[in-house]
Structure 1
Amino acid sequence: MEEDRRGRKKMESRNRMLWSLQNTAWEYDDSRQGRDAASLKRRRTTTESPVSSCSPSSDLAGNNYDVFLSFRGPDTRKSFTDFLYKSLTDAGICVFRDDDELPVGEGIKPALIEAIKQSKVLIPIISRDYASSRSCLMELVQILECKQTTSRETIPIFYEIEVSDLKDQRNSFEKSFFEHQRDGVDCETIQKWKVALEEIGRLKGFVTAKIHNGHHSKLIDELIPIVQQKLKKGRLLVTKNLVGVDHHVQEIMRKLGVVHRNGQVIEICGSDVRVLGIYGIGGVGKTTLAKILAEGFRNKQVLILLDDVEDVDQLDVVVGELSWFGPGSRIIMTSRKSDILLKYKEAETYEIEPMEEDKALQLFSKRAFGTGSPSKGFESLSKDIVLASGRLPLALEVTGSHLFGKSKGTWKDTLEKLKDTPHEKVENVLKISYLALDIYAKHIFLDIACFLIGKDERIAFYMWEDCKLYPSSGIEVLLIMSLVKIGENNELLMHDLLRTLGRKIVLNEDPIPRNRSRLWVHDDALSTLRKKEVNLKAITTFFSTRS
């Protein structure tokens, strides 16, 4: 009876989890504290909403837009508005624009009102003849109502007009209202429209004629980051300086069975549920890649993104059984461990390796010089620093940003420092994996970092077995966590930054070489032996690495 009761309770719990997951899209939250799966941010959606693209359609219900554009077509459709629309969508922002003018006598469509309500940022483009369009005026009334009742972000653009003409209803605005009155629009409606124009004229916005000497492209370049900032609470922010990610995205989308074009998911092939794990050492770009993939799925209610998963128990809580999910669902997770998905037989994995040298140089240059290549006189230094950074994206970005605008002397000092220790921010990221190891795996890791890179693992095994370090399980864990690799000839391999990290850990044990657990610098070892300062423990440590 007790077992049956527990079984029913477990099933009820799973059913509740299933209902919750079916009504929730999961996304990574940069502001979370800790790494437990419960700290993943939830974004509520409705299961009844159809999957939709960012383009307007006759059935607007269910579409959630980032930006709503209100404009008069003949004034700006093929010029400013078209350029703005393309710039917003190229930035991964979902935009609604309505090109249809209302027939005489008809009110604004309920679906259009819903599109305004669902949009997070409202941008009315007030042009000279904006007020001649009844649909524009109706949209403006609704925009201001949303601003007042739901604090919706509103950014007006005053296109080639004097804002005073708008607020005072002079010139073209006065003419438009005269024509509306002549066409039979009642006085109450006209008054409502006039108040809306006066109110929008008092808001802070962009006056095209007065910004960047009327250069629209520069105005839009300034506007896009502001819109992104307004949207940031619901978005996965990705660095602008992306290099070398396209082939990763293409390969992962292929594994997921997804047609992907221009940064957006076009079609999800098949109704099966697919799981993919992205793994690699810290700082290699797993989270950045996952964010890019998530943005591609934006407005598709089929994606679950789990970042930095460390424990199978987290998967049991959040993912559980694949049968819980609806047809076509895609689950992407990142981890430092390659075995995190072993319980799912059909799961795919994808390892991210350090960048190719030319791509690494390009990423570093974007941070260090603001361009895609080194400045004259810094070519050789840049290449040396890229190599010293191990072609790891995090290290390249941190080091490049640090060197921006610095003297050549500072560059040379930085290169020498990198040979001895990673940048503090990079070191902290890499050290997370080391600290997660048990004491035996830590010893093996430090042995490899200090002595055994390039050496045959089979020879090292005899030593570790004699030292009771349990090398079979230790090496397996190091491989799973991408801390070491085994070459084609059984040689032990390790990323340069991990080697530097391991050696620094040993150096920090004690300022006096003879008191450290390992001595790999020839002069330190020879000096210690010659001075007869070494004790039995140090000798054992030096030759067998056992501490």
Structure 2
Amino acid sequence: MENSEPGTSTSNTSRGEYQVFLSFRGHDTRHVFTDILHQAMIDAGIRVFIDEKELQLGEKIRGNLEQAINNSKLYIPIFSKNYASSPSCLYELVRMVDKSKEDEKKVILPIFYDVKPDDVKSNLEQKMEVWKNKFGPEDIKKWRQALQEVGGIGGWEPKKDSGYTELVGAVVEEIVVRLKTRERRVTEYLVGMEDRIVAINNLLDIDSDTVLLIGIYGMGGIGKTTLAKIIFNQLCPRFGKNCSFLEDVSKMTKSKGLKTLQEKLLCDISFSGVACKILDIDHDINMIGETICNKKMLIVLDDVDEAYQIQKLIGEKPLYPGTRILITTRDKSVLNIRGFKYKFEPYEMVQLSDKDGIKLFNGLPLALQVIGSSLFREKREIWVECLDKLEKAPHEDVLATLKISYDALEQNEQEIFLDIACFFIGENKTNPMYMWKECKFYPESAIEVLINKCMIKELDDDSLWMHKQFRDLGRVIAKDQHTRLWNIDDIIDIFNSTEGSVQALHFNLRDSSKGSIIVTSEQIKRFPCIWFLSLCEVDCQGDFTGCLSELKWISLDYDCDISPRPAAAYKISLDRSYAIPPRPAAAHHQRFEAASAWHLENAVVLNRGCVESFWA
């Protein structure tokens, strides 16, 4: 049986099996009830099979009709005055009963349209005299048994003087709950989610009639969306049709516009294709507000990156008691909306514990998912090659996800992020703050932005922390830009090359097997844009005067137990200095070749207490 009408579910077979099979007597109910119910299910996104052509008397169920019954999950027979007068309806009913016995997940949900169960059975008995010469006793026996069984199932009946709107709404809501059509697909065998689920459920306090808004924030790929999906799936049955999950809000807003998301939200909560057609964003805000303020809602806005997106999707009217709103974001600051009626309860999604991290191989679920799929190979040799490649460079898909946060930064914020990734992880922030201020990077606000976006953390001892995956991202970007150097081999290579765009350099030989290396003034002069220079256990030779005009911070760090050299051996001139630290123990000294001279304009000097001539 085929239905060629556009917009009906029979035209959507490419999307998979049918979810609902409608069985009805066309002459009784098609244009007064069944079509209304059918359209309501279509609006709710339910794949429903509806028959356009009734079987002729004596005709058996055709192949595609039987297949539709076999594949459907729910069966809705609409019993009417003449339902039992149709052999096709009775054949369908028998098949539905058989399938529900074979598979307990397949359920019959009868509707009694202006009849009682006994009325349907009586109608069948009246037809027996007419049919006894056309149908075998086995068919009639099965029809009687099927009517007997389905008649004992509790079903719906239209209420007098109430029309069909209330009944249709009740049927659709029951179908949505049973089919779990709103549930989101979640990866199986999740690690480390139990405690987080408990924490969110405690914040939601689902039995309370208050309105609660929860903001789940954390770095990209750490599992915020997965957690929100789990919570949404758990709560869907309690909210029925009054729930909506809007995924990738940031991406969808940029690609298709916020209006598309507003229409999706309205369609989800109204079950009406008409209600989804709106004029503009502001018009939609009013429609959303009028709709959700009268219902207890469950709404998830996933991956929000701007506060206005929340305002335009939730509206500004008071929400109905018991409503729950969940937001996931990489930027904690979007949860602080000026003038917004409600406050978000923040929940930080942190990396997994050491125990769970071992199970997952690292603290970032996205990384395992992406890298694991790339390692799905049969040959051991390919595994070895992939692992060797990953040791040298992080996976591009993981970096692409994290780079979304980097691209959203202002330039000064990007510069500080790259500095931390390359040089200052685990370091106290005090000293680099002086440098960033001199560079006009406005570090106070920039650091706050990076913390809100979960790209760094500031620990209790004022040291800076960054997730390994973000560190790898920062270093890949810096290496591509040729702006920051920290790898010894890269530094040696570029020192022997032509002029470069290097802005910051950390040359550390303390734990290196390279032995003694001399840095000459001629080499340094090739890089006039350097504003951060850190040399650890590196010998310097030559006259450096005037070659570091852009320098903002120099760190000269040596461990040697030799007597102080004469002041003449340390020719360092400072035009301006900041926050001079206390003079350290005399055992720490700088080591320069005699006659090395440094003229540092506007420089902040770290470890300057080690330079004896400074206090001479």
TM-score class, shorter-chain normalisation, is 0.5 to 0.7
- 2:186 alignment partner in structure 1: 238
Deviation at 1:241, TM superposition (A): 3.8
**Amino acid of the residue matched to residue 326 of structure 2?**
I
Whether 1:337 and 2:331 are equivalent positions in the alignment is: yes
Within the candidate set 294, 306, 309, 2:232 is matched to 294
RMSD: 4.9
Q: State whether residues 282 and 429 of structure 1, in contact with CA within 8 Å, keep that contact through their aligned partners in structure 2.
A: yes
Whether 1:519 and 2:505 are equivalent positions in the alignment is: yes
Larger Rg: 2
Within the candidate set 442, 449, 453, 2:425 is matched to 453
Deviation at 1:545, TM superposition (A): 7.7
Return the alpha-carbon distance in structure 1 between the equivalents of residues 224 and 506 of structure 2.
33
Structure number having the greater helix percentage = 1
Q: State whether residues 256 and 276 of structure 1, in contact with CA within 8 Å, keep that contact through their aligned partners in structure 2.
A: yes
Whether 1:489 and 2:461 are equivalent positions in the alignment is: yes
Instruction: Name the count of aligned residue pairs.
Output: 343
- 2:350 alignment partner in structure 1: 353
Deviation at 1:539, TM superposition (A): 3.7
Instruction: Map 1:523-538 onto structure 2 (within 5 A).
Output: 529-530=519-520, 532-534=522-524, 535-538=526-529
Deviation at 1:307, TM superposition (A): 1.0
Return the alpha-carbon distance in structure 2 between the equivalents of residues 509 and 320 of structure 1.
43
Instruction: Map 1:114-133 onto structure 2 (within 5 A).
Output: 120=47
Return the alpha-carbon distance in structure 2 between the equivalents of residues 458 and 156 of structure 1.
75
With normalisation by structure 2, the TM-score equals 0.47
Distance 1:539 1:317, change over 3 A: closer
**Amino acid of the residue matched to residue 225 of structure 2?**
T
Q: State whether residues 218 and 349 of structure 2, in contact with CA within 8 Å, keep that contact through their aligned partners in structure 1.
A: yes
Whether 1:283 and 2:224 are equivalent positions in the alignment is: no
Return the alpha-carbon distance in structure 2 between the equivalents of residues 140 and 294 of structure 1.
44
What stretches of structure 2 of length at least 5 have no aligned partner? Answer: 1-17, 23-32, 50-67, 72-78, 104-120, 144-175, 243-296, 483-489, 495-499, 535-550, 554-616
- 2:314 alignment partner in structure 1: 319
Distance 1:415 1:319, change over 3 A: same
Q: State whether residues 506 and 516 of structure 1, in contact with CA within 8 Å, keep that contact through their aligned partners in structure 2.
A: no
- 1:59 alignment partner in structure 2: none
Q: State whether residues 430 and 498 of structure 1, in contact with CA within 8 Å, keep that contact through their aligned partners in structure 2.
A: yes
For residues 465-486 of structure 1, what are the alpha-carbon distances to aligned partners after superposition, in whole Å with 9 as ceiling and x for unaligned?
1111111001000000001001
Q: Secondary structure at the match of 1:184?
A: helix
- 1:505 alignment partner in structure 2: 477
Q: Secondary structure at the match of 1:400?
A: helix
**Amino acid of the residue matched to residue 419 of structure 2?**
D
Return the alpha-carbon distance in structure 2 between the equivalents of residues 352 and 142 of structure 1.
54
**Amino acid of the residue matched to residue 359 of structure 1?**
D
Return the alpha-carbon distance in structure 2 between the equivalents of residues 449 and 473 of structure 1.
18
Within the candidate set 422, 427, 430, 2:402 is matched to 430
Whether 1:439 and 2:433 are equivalent positions in the alignment is: no
**Amino acid of the residue matched to residue 303 of structure 1?**
L
Return the alpha-carbon distance in structure 1 between the equivalents of residues 319 and 394 of structure 2.
43
What stretches of structure 1 of length at least 5 have no aligned partner? Answer: 1-65, 71-109, 127-133, 147-153, 162-179, 199-227, 259-268, 365-385
- 2:205 alignment partner in structure 1: 257
Deviation at 1:239, TM superposition (A): 2.0
RCO higher in 1 or 2 (8 Å CA, sep ≥ 6)? 1
For residues 263-286 of structure 1, what are the alpha-carbon distances to aligned partners after superposition, in whole Å with 9 as ceiling and x for unaligned?
xxxxxx222211111110011111
Distance 1:336 1:158, change over 3 A: closer
Return the alpha-carbon distance in structure 2 between the equivalents of residues 494 and 542 of structure 1.
22
- 1:303 alignment partner in structure 2: 298
Return the alpha-carbon distance in structure 2 between the equivalents of residues 520 and 420 of structure 1.
20
Q: Secondary structure at the match of 1:277?
A: strand
Q: Secondary structure at the match of 2:215?
A: strand
- 1:13 alignment partner in structure 2: none
